[in-house]
Amino acid sequence: MLYIIGLGLGDERDITMRGLEAVKSCEKVYMEAYTSLLSFGLDSHGLSNLEKLYGKSITLADREMVEEKAHHILEEARHSHVAFLVVGDPFGATTHTDLVVRAKKMGIHVQIVHNASVLNAIGICGLQLYRYGQTVSIPFFTDSWRPDSFYEKIHSNRTMGLHTLCLLGLTHLLSYFLCYFFVLTNSTSIFSNLMDIRVKEPTLESLARGRKTYEPPRYMTINTAIEQLLEVVQEHQQPAYTEDTQCVGFARLGSDDQTIVAGTMRQLQMVDFGAPLHCLVITGNTHPLEEEMLEFYRCRT
């Protein structure tokens, strides 16, 4: 049996009772450690908190293990109960869908335990979830790579009066392979929708040389995302948004010290949202009840 268990967004206590029972029944427990982060981190102290509550030794599974060595995890699940712990909800990243597909093809029974994710926790600001359009992701710009494919989705959402969730804190299953393809072909067109937590990410130079050298972890802030959004919009004659467009910034959503601020892009650029992870919502047309709720988070500067 392979259990894929969502941990929620806060700390080790956010696991569900059903998820905790599943963990305690497993012989091996893996903790996926690169598509997102728990609020208390995954250093030795944070990991020991997990192990103490769950009563199990936990193996951290970085992107290399999950993407390149998943067959080891699946072989263990063929013969015993294995838990794969995921921050948020199990299907918040395509990596985990791929793991489920591979397990089912091998005849391994899979059980999913759901939990809260950023996709529903953003409802705390009062913007109604059914009024959101396509979710977009904002990648870090570089000197030679400044993709803007997310702009058309934002434009489409705002044309329909819908809110847009901009993810700044998830990484894509294919990012490693796309980086490698980029080195070989110098193509930028395939980099259409990567989300950017840079955790244990190989450098392009090391991939070109055939050996992996990893970049230091890097987390996109709301301030950087807005700066890039405003740069992109300058290339369009009929802008989908301006620096006066209303947005909501979130940091460490679901944790005890979460920060939520509503204001214009210009105002949010001046806010220090603190430690990661961050995400941003560009608001569309708002209902009076949504406006009333947003007032509780309004930037006063």
Q: What is the pLDDT of residue 96?
A: 84
Q: What is the pLDDT of residue 41?
A: 54
- 118 annotated binding-site participant: yes
Task: Yes or no: say if 184 and 178 are a contact pair by the CB < 8 Å rule.
Answer: no
Q: Which of 97, 116, 135 is the last residue of a domain?
A: 116
- The CATH number of the domain where 271 resides is what? 3.30.950.10
Q: Does 89 share its domain with 196?
A: no
- 8 annotated binding-site participant: no
Q: Does 133 share its domain with 241?
A: yes
Tell me which of 94-103, 250-259, 280-289 is least confident.
Answer: 94-103
pLDDT in tens, 191-207: 333 334 444 555 555 55
CA dihedral (161, 226, 293, 7) positive or negative: positive
Q: Which domain holds residue 55?
A: 2-116
Pairing of β 2-6 and β 82-86: parallel
- 9 annotated binding-site participant: yes
- The CATH number of the domain where 102 resides is what? 3.40.1010.10
Question: How much of the chain exceeds pLDDT 90, in percent?
Answer: 56
> Over 50: is that where the pLDDT of 262 sits?
yes
Q: Does 127 share its domain with 90?
A: no
Task: Give the model's confidence band at 171: pLDDT under 50 very low, under 70 low, under 90 confident, else very high.
Answer: very low
- 278 annotated binding-site participant: yes
- The pTM (predicted TM-score) of the whole model is 0.81
Q: Does 199 share its domain with 100?
A: no
In the chain, count H helices and then E strands.
12, 12
Residue identified by tokens 């509550």 is: 53
pLDDT in tens, 120-131: 999 999 999 999
Q: Does 86 share its domain with 228?
A: no
> Over 80: is that where the pLDDT of 296 sits?
yes
Closest by CA to 168, choosing from 20, 278, 46, is 278
Q: Which of 82, 116, 150 is the last residue of a domain?
A: 116
Task: Give the model's confidence band at 60: pLDDT under 50 very low, under 70 low, under 90 confident, else very high.
Answer: confident
- 263 annotated binding-site participant: no
Domain count, the chain: 2
Q: Does 111 share its domain with 142?
A: no
Q: Does 49 share its domain with 165?
A: no
Q: Does 94 share its domain with 203?
A: no
Task: Give the model's confidence band at 284: pLDDT under 50 very low, under 70 low, under 90 confident, else very high.
Answer: very high
- 36 annotated binding-site participant: no
Q: Does 266 share its domain with 166?
A: yes
Task: Please give, one letter per residue, the 3-state secondary structure of 237-296.
Answer: CCCCCCCCCEEEEEECCCCCCCEEEEEEHHHHHCCCCCCCCEEEEECCCCCHHHHHHHHH
